[in-house]
Amino acid sequence: MGIAATALPLAGELDSRDAALLGALENGLPLVARPYAAVGALLDMPEAEVLARLARLREVQVIKRWGVVVRHRELGYRANGMVVWDVPDHRVATLGRRLSHFPCVTLCYRRPRRPPDWNYNLFTMIHGRDEAGVRANLGHLVASCRLEGVTHEVLFSERRFKQRGARYLGGYAGTAGRAVVPS
Amino acid sequence: MAMGTDFSPLERALLNDHQHDFPLCPRPFAELARRHGVDEDTVIRVLQGLQGSGAVSRVGAVVRPNRIGASTLAAMAVPQADLERVARLVNGFDEVNHNYERRHEYNLWFVVAAPSRQGLSRVLADIEGATGLPVLDLPMLEDYFIDLGFSIQWE
């Protein structure tokens, strides 16, 4: 199994208090009047420090997005099509950037091929209210980017067995002060 | 379950407008209340309702993959009759955060996160051991999308 090529050096970016804070937030902010103070109380961290650390983590983009995280299916977006493409390796970055500009594309990633079982190297997620809508958007992508000759498949989601935020740090318990971030 | 058309204007605003713009100040819900012309308690109560019904997963951070810890997208080709049992086994791993059935020979897709790449490999090996099925390990190599959330088109 390969190591992700984009794993970035962490030196100077995160200390153990940042890690403890992110661990405490893995289930989200408590919905109370002073949520940052409430999180800080769990960690013995002043509210002002919680706010300052979160602002910095956003600035250095360890936190990519800070806000309300919605579940698409509950909002009426029942169709979730994962489109997988077999793109020549020298074209994948250009095409990935191009596809990610279409509003219907909600995620776009390069992933490794695993021959002989899996030969797709580009993944785009398209959310729609129904499958016909997803297929129409896919047709639009294919036509706009001249992808008729590129092998691809769309995998529609069926049952959702689990959906929650990632727990890189194993949740709150015991993370305070622990040096959890690998180098 | 509430669908697109069932949400009130305040619910729609809270769902759509603050996916990447949530205030970092001591009383963030009071700040949202000020912007939407309601009071702080109302904002908190409405968000609690949205979280209770499942429309809101959480208010918090989406962490960039590979900046802390390690994560991967994994897939398995599971005999259809065995899918529920295998999905339950996979769900049983706390490191698994999303787990979906998809219509394909590879019909079970899940995301695994762990503090380190070594830890991640161990979890994948344990899942293979528990299920007796091989796991495709498809870590993200490059992210082409700056995730600014999800712009909801109300019906």
A96-109 per-position pLDDT tens digit = 999 988 878 888 99
pLDDT band (50, 70, 90) for residue B24:
very high
Statement: residue B70 has pLDDT above 90:
no
A10: left (phi over 0), alpha (psi -120 to 50) or beta: alpha
pLDDT at B150 over 80: no
| pLDDT tens for each residue of B43-57 | 999 999 999 998 998
How far does B120 lie from chain A, in Å, by closest CA? 10
A24-to-A63, A169, B27, B75 alpha-carbon distances in Å:
14, 9, 19, 29
For B:97-136, CB contacts with A below 8 A are 97-104, 106-107, 109-111, 113-117, 121, 124, 136
Q: What is the bridge-based pairing of β-strands A79-85 and A152-163? A: antiparallel
Instruction: Tell me the mean pLDDT in the region B82-110.
Output: 95
* Cβ atoms of residues B47 and A33 within 8 Å: no
Please report the pLDDT score of residue B146 as a whole number: 57
CB–CB contact A67 B20 (8 Å): yes
**In the predicted structure, residue A58 carries a pLDDT above the cut 80:** yes
Mean pLDDT lowest for which of A113-117, B5-9, B15-19, B47-51? B5-9
Nearest-CA distance from B22 to chain A in Å?
5
Q: Mean pLDDT across the stretch A125-144?
A: 93
What is the DSSP-derived secondary structure letter of residue B42? H
Q: Tens of pLDDT along B121-136?
A: 999 999 999 999 999 9
Report percent pLDDT > 70 for chain B: 88
Q: Are strands B96-102 and A152-163 parallel, antiparallel or unpaired?
A: antiparallel
More confident residue, A22 or B3: A22
Is the pLDDT score of A36 beyond 80? yes
Band of pLDDT at residue B62, cut at 50, 70 and 90: confident
pLDDT tops 50 at residue A78: yes
Task: Give, as one character, the DSSP assignment of residue A81.
Answer: E
Mean pLDDT value across chain B: 90
pTM of the model: 0.73
